[in-house]
Amino acid sequence: MSTKNTSTSRLDYNLILILFLLFLASCISIYSAQKSGQYIDKFLIKQLVWYFVGTGIIAVVIHFDSDQLKKLSWYVYGLGISLLLFLIVAPASIAPVINGAKSWFKVPGMGSLQPSEFVKVFIILALARVIVEHHQKYRLKTIQSDFWLMIKMGLITLFPLVLVMQQPDLGTSLVFISIFLGMLFISGVSWRILVPIFSVGTTLVAIIFYFVLWKPEILEKYLGVKEYQFGRIYSWLDPYNYQSTTGFQLTRSLLAIGSGETTGKGYGQREVYLPESHSDFIFSVVGEEFGFIGASILISLFFLLIYQITKIGMETKNDFYTYVCVGVISMITFHVFQNIGMTIGVLPITGIPLPFVSYGGSSLWGNMLAIGLIFSIRFHYKKYMFSTSE
């Protein structure tokens, strides 16, 4: 048995294969997107570099076991919060305002670095640790202890959430919230708390939607929100009426994907001009060039990825690992669902990238960091199993 206990055998080859396929999808679609002649940058070459570095990140992270990760979690969480704080005070020379948001650090040689992409993972680690420690402390679960756990988790999420929202970066804020919700769900908090919370939350969202759609003047009167700020929602529901303004991207994206039909137009045969097609709207490239078949394969890849992580989360006997897995699942699922959803009109447009596929260093590294944690789980839980069996 111990002969199998080599470092290679502890690598999750399924995960590696899925990642490699996503990497291919990324390269293929970015190369096609950059050919639209809209930009001068060589996105593909840079993306290859980001992937190379990202692999390095996995190689490092894989060596940390659960104890080390638990210990580190508060430090990295603190580091993330400080980076986000520093963004606020940093001068424009270090943290310029791009597209109206102050979310990036200028990094010589690389371009820009977005700390919030890493903070997602730090939140996952911190939440996982809090849940584990909570359960160790309160062996007997009561409603009170569950509430207390929920408050602790809420606070951990709240700090970075506030910092990110003021940048302002709605997309990332929503990612934080979905990580929180996913991990709250799995944390073992009683249904008696969860059911009311989720139903109240859903009702609230429904009510807000009702007002946005039918009574915007009331929101304007009592909350001071202007009608035009709901443009995102209006243009999502009725893109063709807002085609010249906020609905432009959605109508173009629908046109691109829809016209791809079942089999697509073929590689490099795109017809619809779409801004940001290399980053947030990369899915429209896939949809247009490879059609329903290609797009479905890409969605399936993500599903397999989630499945694989879920499986790992199930198999591990270490609760901390399970929580980390759920955090990563929540994060990736939200990213994928939100990103693809917005390109096909299921959700309003929010500027978040498609994990592993969209162009962008920070986003990729954040995701590689998260997937690095999963690799490390596989890498270490076998060893743990062996050690107990001995």
Partner 1 sequence: METQKNTKKTLPFRLNILFLIVFICFSILVIKLGTLQIVKGEDFRKEISRTENHIVREPVPRGKIYDRNGRIVVDNDGKNAISYTKAKDTKQDEILEVAKKLSQLIVVKTDKLTERDLKDYWILTRPEEAVAKLTKAELSNKKLESKDLYKLQLERISTADLSKISMKEKQVASIFREMAKGYALTPQIVKNDDVKVDEIARVSENLESLPGVDVFTDWKRMYPNGDTFRSILGNISTDEEGLPANLLDYYLSRDYSRNDRVGKSQIELQYEDVLSGQKAKTEYEVGQSGKIEQSKMISEGKRGKDLVLTIDLELQKKVEEILEKQLVSGKQNGGGPFLDRAFVVMTNPKTGEVLSMSGKKLTFKNGKYEVDDYALGTFTSSYEMGSVVKGATILTGYQTGVIQPNTYLVDEPIQLASTPIKKSWRTMGRINDLEALRRSSNVYMFKTAIRSLGSEYYHMMKIPLNYDAFDTYRYYFNQFGLGVRTGIDLPSEAAGLPGSNSPNFLLDFTIGQYDTYTPMQLAQYVSTIANDGYRAKLQMVKEIREPNLESDLGQIQHSFEPVILNQVDMKDEYIKRVQEGFRQVYQESGGTATSYFGSKPYSDYNLAGKTGTAQSFYYDSEKKKLYVDEPTFNLTLVGYAPFDNPEVAFSVVVPYVKSDKHPINKLIGQDIIKAYFELKEQAPVE
Question: Which chain residues interact with partner 1 by CB under 8 A?
Answer: 92, 96-98, 100, 102, 135, 139-142, 168, 182, 185-186, 188, 190, 226, 229, 254-255, 257-262, 271-273, 287, 291-292, 295-296, 299, 302-303, 306-307, 310, 313-314, 319, 322, 326, 329-330, 333, 336-337, 340-341, 344-346
We find the least distance from the C-beta atom of residue 296 to partner 1, in angstroms, to be: 6
CA distance 17 to 21: 6
We find the least distance from the C-beta atom of residue 242 to partner 1, in angstroms, to be: 16
Q: Look up residue 269 and give its two tokens.
A: 């045969």
Residue nearer to partner 1 on the CB measure, 11 or 265: 265
We find the least distance from the C-beta atom of residue 272 to partner 1, in angstroms, to be: 6
CA distance 340 to 82: 32
Residue nearer to partner 1 on the CB measure, 51 or 378: 378
CA distance 17 to 26: 14
Residue nearer to partner 1 on the CB measure, 291 or 353: 291
Residue nearer to partner 1 on the CB measure, 168 or 266: 168
Neighbouring residues of 73: CB distance < 8 A, sequence distance ≥ 6: 122, 125, 126, 128, 129
Q: Look up residue 63 and give its two tokens.
A: 């060596």
Question: What's the length of the chain?
Answer: 390
Residue nearer to partner 1 on the CB measure, 48 or 299: 299
Residue nearer to partner 1 on the CB measure, 46 or 141: 141
Q: Is 259 within 8 Å of 252 (Cβ atoms)?
A: no
Q: Look up residue 249 and give its two tokens.
A: 């991207």
- Locate the DSSP E strands across 205-358: none
Three-class SS state of 39? coil
Could you give the count of Cα atoms lying within 13 Å of 81 in the half-sphere of its Cβ?
15
We find the least distance from the C-beta atom of residue 243 to partner 1, in angstroms, to be: 11
Three-class SS state of 26? helix
We find the least distance from the C-beta atom of residue 236 to partner 1, in angstroms, to be: 13
We find the least distance from the C-beta atom of residue 292 to partner 1, in angstroms, to be: 4
